Amino acid sequence: MKRFLLDTHTHTVASGHAYGTVTEMAKAASEAGLRLLAITDHAPKLPGAPHEMYFRNFKVIDREMFGVKLLMGVELNVIDYKGTLDLEKSLLKKMDICIASLHTVCLRPGTKAENTRTLLKAMENPYVRIVGHPDDGRYEIDYEAMVKGARECGVLVELNNSSLAPGACRKNSVPNLREILKLCERYGQEVIVNTDSHFPSSVGRFDEARSLLERTGFPEELIVNTDLERFQNYLRRI
């Protein structure tokens, strides 16, 4: 499998429960051999997350550090079963990249139908590029409908390395990701492998996810991490 060139789901101290600065994360990305890093701190509804003013001031941040292209974005919280996200459209337009994720502290798990409909509606938002850690078994989801919806909306499905790490809080991630990957292969849906790093030393470290991809024989041509241009095509979707 080719070397991964990008990591597009990471958090800094601004998220409230992560411990590196933007500069430290960018330096770690360079040392890991990445060419692109996205900082995607949590949106305001997650406890400890920054105020929206944090996201409004990204213009002051360099977009290349230590030889690594830097994107400044957000991991949005889905806050109701209508798929509502917790930053307004005018601000989403200014983000380099937006991830939409379910977090139990922002939305309690509903029925399988409610959870599935929620994700599908969130992915319909034209600014969402990635559906984050859909493997969390605390939310029962119709994965076939999710994968089909992602393909229709032009959204990448995330394979989250953090979900597979020892001590991960998400439930049943391995069997869920096996099912997700099987469906992505069946429908030709591209995936993106991310670390969901909350500390610099884990930036660009994809060991658990890479191992799962190899064990399942997932087609390399459906993994966008090896090709910057393919990933940038998703950023130009609007």
Write the pLDDT tens digit of every residue in 97-136: 999 999 999 999 999 999 999 999 999 999 999 999 999 9
> Is residue 34 within 8 Å of residue 204, measured between CB atoms?
yes
Element (H, E) at 42: strand 36-42
Q: What is the mean pLDDT of the chain?
A: 96
The answer to whether residue 162 scores a pLDDT higher than 90 is yes
pLDDT of residue 238: 56
Q: Across the chain, how many H-helices and E-strands are there?
A: 9, 8
The token duo for 129 is 């590029």
pLDDT, tens only, 163-187 = 998 888 888 999 999 999 999 999 9
> Is residue 110 within 8 Å of residue 81, measured between CB atoms?
yes
